[in-house]
């Protein structure tokens, strides 16, 4: 009875593995101790030893029962381990003859017990304690043998043999138990896996059935609605019909999302690679969403690079789904303003291209801490704030998974309350090099309220059979093909279709799949093998509501000649019919008839986004001509005086600042732009480029703004802030080099390592006329400044480890100090890169500049020598009469 209860307890599924092992080991150990007790009685062990052993058995048994009943097994395992290591093992060792008995073998059992019942750090602690106690026992017994209870020769062998048998039995029981336990767990895991697979299969079947059943009535709605749009109806009716069309397609899109999420979760999703035209694809996407934007009063723009190739190899359906989800998301979360879709193409090797879709909105934005949750299924950020905004929570999760499947990436840049930008990059193979711009995308946009129907062909002698168990679907197909003048017969079952194919030869048969009694695949096979049948060679097209690339592949394997998915448009079914009909029965109409008459306000002049844009700060001291040439955006630093705060170079310039500081005790301080200013600046630049590299002033300089810029960049995935470790035109040189790399087509990952190597090759230094301004800015004490000025000392400030420090002095007149400084710097220019030399200055006269130019012209040659007035933020710390020669080494 007791053994059965113990067994049931061990097999209890609520217990963890360690708890089960504790119960088993405790039971085995107690059984072994009971056997040792009776053996001790038989062989005449001392009365004291037997009493101690009996007491230990009783206490251990009671504690084990308490731990199992009260579910304190983890704690009790630790208590037992402590007692075993620090009490039972030493006592057994010394009372059992030390190495001449069974004591040493029980150390092996202790290792087994600790390893199987304890966890992590506690296990390691007791294993180390066991090693220490074992060593102590052996050492003490060796040096003090009198403390060991000696056994006679026979007793030593007997004790050792009994201990060996007990431990061997314990290990055997443990191995058997663990093997049995793992077998049971594997069986449970297999059963659970089978159950999960069955649930997934049921779920997939449910979603597939739901998709099929919903697509059937939607097919009727869209088909008949298209017929309304073909008719000469009033503008109001046409607008209502267009709204019905858009809403029906959005409903269909939601159904696809649910079905695809099911497939993604079960690992059954596959991409269906085929060639597609990007202009046609965008027409479908935009045509579905522009009404939603219009109804909310939003502007909707599409910016398509006209020079990008028109044809690509990829999964057009999934790319549409990605764009629809992202654009729809932007429309939902934008109350006022606009939503803009931009498309670019970055060519790569081997005929590949990175197609870049950018969706920008002026919506509510996303908090930085919520961005990681954007792509989580059924998770909506700021649920309370957005509770009145509809949505399933599936869209962006599906987008992320599809983009990953295609080997692309999606990034999000958002400024809270100001809008978000989603950038989707998908590698695609180019299959048609013809420029998409030459097709005139605006002439194919399906966005107007009313579409003028254009019949693509006539085939009055062609015979078509449509097989579908739904009468509405049959009516829709007949109406959609009415203007082609083909002769159409319809039947509602496979059996009726077989009767028709015995009577008449049809050029094309449109066949539904899911029909009662005889499905479309079975009907196809019977038509192909029908004795006396007249349609064995007819083209048979699957016209079905079963979505998915796996279904499409099924129809190809089963021998269908084509595949159309419900709901089907008039254009799609006409094109498929034209493809399947013999050419001799088709009369093609004039293809030059204008299809659209209304304007397409959603198209705008293309303004191509660059891949990488370089930005910097006003303190980089770059000539305006170079800023304009390289399109370098600049965020201004600030200069603070007692009269207020001024933007560097915009609201204050260096000459005016020097004049202000020369009047009495006026002082000024430099200040970096705020986090908010940086965020707005970066967001503005991301409207022009896919990636931003911001070249920052050295973070070691006081109020540099580098740390602020890095914090602001944290909310953007496409903004990289680079700490130059330099200032003034030394920073500017790195900006120009970064621009050169970007213009050569390098990526962010290629530019940043090159800038890291360049940092140590740039020389940033200045000679200062006197130390007054260094003292005013707090970089030097006033007492030191006054002494230096008394001795006519001209310090040289150099950049060391990102900080400006005094690197030397020149004595004497200003002109003498300048010449010595210039000569010394020219002597160091042997390894200089001759691309450019900056002479950055504060408060020099034209005469001063002319003298410096003359010296340089006679001694060195650079391709470009720029004399650049330092920004006010630099001037405030150095004062007039300061200049530096800044360059880089090869």
Give a yes or no: residue 167 inside a domain.
no
pLDDT beyond 80 at 679:
yes
Predicted confidence band at 593 (pLDDT cuts at 50, 70, 90)? very low
Same domain, 122 and 81: yes
Same domain, 769 and 754: no
Same domain, 543 and 396: no
Copy the structure tokens of residue 276.
């597609």
Give a yes or no: residue 176 inside a domain.
no
Q: Are strands 463-467 and 669-671 parallel, antiparallel or unpaired?
A: unpaired
Q: Are strands 338-347 and 765-767 parallel, antiparallel or unpaired?
A: unpaired
Predicted confidence band at 447 (pLDDT cuts at 50, 70, 90)? very low
Predicted confidence band at 524 (pLDDT cuts at 50, 70, 90)? very high
**Least confident range of 161-170, 194-203, 516-525:** 194-203
Q: Which residues contact 400 (CB under 8 A, 6 or more apart)?
A: 375, 410
**Least confident range of 15-19, 256-260, 300-304, 339-343:** 15-19
Q: Please report how many Cα atoms fall inside a 13 Å half-sphere around the Cα of residue 417, on the Cβ side.
A: 3
Q: What are phi and psi of 721, to 5 degrees?
A: -100, 125
Predicted confidence band at 281 (pLDDT cuts at 50, 70, 90)? confident
Task: Please list, residue by residue across 766-784, b when 16 or more beta carbons sit within 10 angstroms of its beta carbon and e when fewer do.
Answer: bbbbbbbbbbbbebbeeee
Among 253-257, 779-783, 793-797, the range of highest mean pLDDT: 793-797
Regarding pTM above 0.95, the answer is no
Same domain, 771 and 749: no
Give a yes or no: residue 852 inside a domain.
yes
Q: Which residues contact 776 (CB under 8 A, 6 or more apart)?
A: 661, 667
Domain final position from 151, 167, 202: 151
Spatial separation of the C-alpha atoms in residues 462 and 486, rounded to whole Å: 5
CATH of the domain at 486: 3.40.50.2300
CATH of the domain at 388: 3.30.565.10
Tens digits of per-residue pLDDT, 53-78? 677 777 767 776 776 666 676 677 77
**Least confident range of 88-97, 534-543, 760-769:** 88-97
Domain final position from 710, 726, 760: 760
Tens digits of per-residue pLDDT, 811-870? 877 788 888 888 888 888 888 888 889 988 887 888 888 888 888 888 888 888 888 888
The DSSP H or E segment spanning 616 is strand 610-617
Give a yes or no: residue 215 inside a domain.
no
> For residues 516 and 469, is the Cβ–Cβ distance under 8 A?
yes
Predicted confidence band at 106 (pLDDT cuts at 50, 70, 90)? confident
Give a yes or no: residue 229 inside a domain.
no
Same domain, 425 and 473: no
Among 202-216, 288-302, 343-357, the range of highest mean pLDDT: 343-357
- What is the mean pLDDT of the segment spanning 195-204? 73
| Domains in the chain, number | 5
> For residues 796 and 736, is the Cβ–Cβ distance under 8 A?
no
pLDDT computed for residue 598 by the predictor:
32
* Number of other residues whose CB lies within 10 A of the CB of residue 820: 17
Beta-bridged to residue 445, according to DSSP, are: none
Same domain, 751 and 770: no
CATH of the domain at 776: 3.30.1180.10
Give a yes or no: residue 317 inside a domain.
yes
Among 193-207, 496-510, 689-703, 818-832, the range of highest mean pLDDT: 496-510
Give a yes or no: residue 389 inside a domain.
yes
Spatial separation of the C-alpha atoms in residues 740 and 751, rounded to whole Å: 10
DSSP 87: I
Q: Which residues contact 649 (CB under 8 A, 6 or more apart)?
A: 618, 634, 636, 871, 872
Same domain, 327 and 426: yes
The domain of 321 spans 271-443
Spatial separation of the C-alpha atoms in residues 727 and 705, rounded to whole Å: 12
Domain final position from 740, 760, 780: 760
Spatial separation of the C-alpha atoms in residues 401 and 397, rounded to whole Å: 6
Tens digits of per-residue pLDDT, 724-757? 888 888 888 999 999 999 988 888 999 999 999 9
Give a yes or no: residue 551 inside a domain.
yes
Our CA angle for 821, 841, 804, nearest 5°, is: 70
pLDDT computed for residue 5 by the predictor:
55
Same domain, 711 and 834: no
**Least confident range of 229-233, 336-340, 611-615, 650-654:** 650-654
Same domain, 779 and 862: yes
pLDDT beyond 80 at 128:
yes
Copy the structure tokens of residue 41.
């009685």
Same domain, 23 and 130: yes
> For residues 328 and 366, is the Cβ–Cβ distance under 8 A?
no
Q: Which residues contact 805 (CB under 8 A, 6 or more apart)?
A: 797, 798, 799
> For residues 334 and 363, is the Cβ–Cβ distance under 8 A?
yes
Same domain, 728 and 833: no
Same domain, 743 and 790: no
Q: Are strands 299-304 and 338-347 parallel, antiparallel or unpaired?
A: parallel
The radius of gyration of the chain from alpha carbons, rounded to an integer in Å, stands at 42
- What is the mean pLDDT of the segment spanning 374-378? 62
């Amino acid at each position: 009875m007791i053994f059965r209860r113990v067994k049931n307890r061990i097999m209890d599924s609520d217990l963890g593995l360690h708890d089960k092992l504790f119960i088993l080991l405790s039971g085995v150990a107690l059984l072994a101790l009971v056997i040792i007790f009776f053996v001790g009685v038989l062989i005449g062990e001392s009365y004291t030893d037997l009493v101690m052993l009996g007491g230990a058995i009783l206490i251990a048994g009671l504690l084990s029962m308490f731990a199992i009943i009260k579910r304190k097994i983890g704690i009790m395992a630790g208590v037992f381990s402590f007692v075993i290591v620090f009490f039972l093992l030493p006592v057994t060792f010394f009372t059992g003859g030390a190495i001449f008995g069974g004591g040493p073998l029980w150390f092996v059992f202790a290792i087994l017990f600790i390893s199987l019942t304890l966890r992590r750090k506690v296990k390691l602690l007791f294993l180390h304690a066991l090693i220490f106690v074992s060593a102590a026992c052996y050492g003490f017994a060796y040096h003090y043998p009198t403390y060991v209870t000696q056994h006679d020769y026979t007793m030593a062998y007997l004790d050792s043999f009994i201990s060996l048998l007990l431990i061997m039995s314990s290990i055997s029981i443990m191995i058997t138990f663990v093997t049995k336990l793992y077998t049971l767990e594997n069986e449970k895991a297999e059963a659970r896996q089978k159950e999960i697979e069955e649930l997934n299969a049921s779920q997939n079947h449910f979603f597939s059935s739901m998709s099929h059943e919903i697509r059937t009535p939607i097919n009727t709605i869209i088909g008949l609605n298209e017929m309304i749009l073909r008719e000469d109806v009033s503008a109001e009716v046409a607008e209502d019909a267009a709204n019905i069309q858009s809403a029906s397609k959005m409903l269909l899109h939601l159904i696809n999302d649910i079905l695809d999420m099911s497939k993604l979760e079960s690992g059954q999703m596959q991409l269906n690679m085929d060639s597609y035209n990007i202009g046609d694809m965008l027409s479908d996407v935009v045509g579905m969403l522009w009404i939603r934007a219009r109804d909310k009063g939003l502007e909707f723009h599409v910016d398509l690079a006209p020079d990008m190739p028109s044809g690509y190899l990829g999964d057009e359906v999934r790319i549409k789904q990605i764009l629809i989800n992202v654009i729809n998301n932007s429309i939902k979360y934008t109350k006022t303003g606009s939503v803009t879709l931009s498309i670019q193409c970055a060519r790569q090797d081997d005929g590949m291209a990175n197609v870049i879709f950018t969706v920008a909105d002026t919506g509510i934005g996303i908090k930085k801490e919520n961005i990681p949750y954007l792509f989580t299924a059924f998770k909506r950020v700021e649920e309370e704030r957005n509770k009145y905004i509809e949505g399933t929570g599936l869209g962006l999760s599906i987008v992320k998974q599809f983009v990953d499947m295609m080997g692309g990436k999606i990034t999000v840049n958002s400024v809270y309350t100001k809008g978000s930008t989603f950038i989707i990059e998908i590698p695609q193979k180019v299959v048609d090099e013809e420029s998409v711009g030459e097709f005139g995308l605006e002439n194919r946009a399906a966005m107007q309220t009313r579409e003028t129907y254009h019949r693509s062909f006539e085939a009055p002698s062609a015979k078509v059979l449509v097989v579908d168990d739904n009468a509405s679907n049959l009516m829709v197909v007949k109406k959609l093909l009415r203007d082609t003048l083909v002769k159409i017969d319809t039947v509602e079952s496979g059996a009726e279709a077989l009767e028709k194919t015995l009577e008449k030869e049809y050029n094309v048969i449109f066949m539904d799949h899911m029909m009662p009694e005889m499905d479309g695949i079975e009907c196809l096979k019977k038509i192909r093998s029908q004795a006396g049948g007249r349609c064995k060679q007819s083209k048979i097209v699957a016209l079905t509501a079963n979505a998915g690339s796996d279904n499409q592949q099924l129809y190809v394997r089963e021998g269908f000649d084509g595949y159309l998915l419900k709901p089907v448009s008039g254009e799609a079914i006409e094109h498929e019919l034209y493809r399947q009909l013999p050419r001799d029965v088709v009369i093609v109409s004039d293809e030059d008839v204008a299809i659209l008459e209304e304007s397409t306000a959603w198209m705008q002049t293309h303004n191509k986004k660059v891949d990488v844009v370089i930005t910097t700060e006003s303190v980089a001291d770059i000539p305006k001509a170079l800023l304009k040439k390289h399109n370098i955006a600049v965020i201004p630093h600030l200069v603070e005086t007692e009269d207020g705060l001024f933007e560097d170079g915009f609201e204050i310039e260096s000459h005016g600042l020097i004049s202000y500081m020369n009047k009495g005790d006026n002082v000024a301080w430099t200040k970096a732009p705020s986090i908010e200013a940086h965020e707005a600046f970066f967001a503005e630049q991301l409207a022009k480029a896919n990636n931003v590299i911001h070249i920052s002033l050295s973070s070691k300089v006081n109020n540099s703004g580098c740390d602020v810029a890095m914090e602001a960049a944290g909310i953007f995935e496409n903004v990289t802030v680079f700490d130059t470790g330099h200032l003034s035109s030394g920073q500017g040189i790195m900006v120009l080099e970064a621009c050169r790399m970007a213009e050569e087509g390098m990526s962010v990952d290629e530019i940043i390592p090159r800038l890291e190597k360049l940092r140590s090759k740039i020389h940033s230094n200045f000679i200062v006329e006197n130390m007054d301004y260094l003292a005013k800015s707090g970089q030097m004490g006033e007492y030191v400044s006054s002494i230096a000025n008394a001795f006519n000392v001209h310090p040289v400030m150099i950049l060391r480890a990102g900080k400006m420090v005094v690197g030397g002095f020149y004595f004497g007149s200003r002109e003498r100090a300048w010449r010595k400084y210039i000569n010394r710097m020219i002597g160091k220019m042997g390894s200089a890169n001759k691309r450019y030399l900056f002479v950055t200055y504060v408060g020099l006269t034209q005469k001063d500049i002319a003298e410096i130019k003359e010296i340089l012209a006679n001694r060195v040659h650079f391709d470009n020598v720029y004399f650049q007035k330092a920004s006010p933020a630099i001037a405030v710390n150095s004062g007039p009469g300061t200049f530096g020669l800044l360059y880089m080494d090869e």
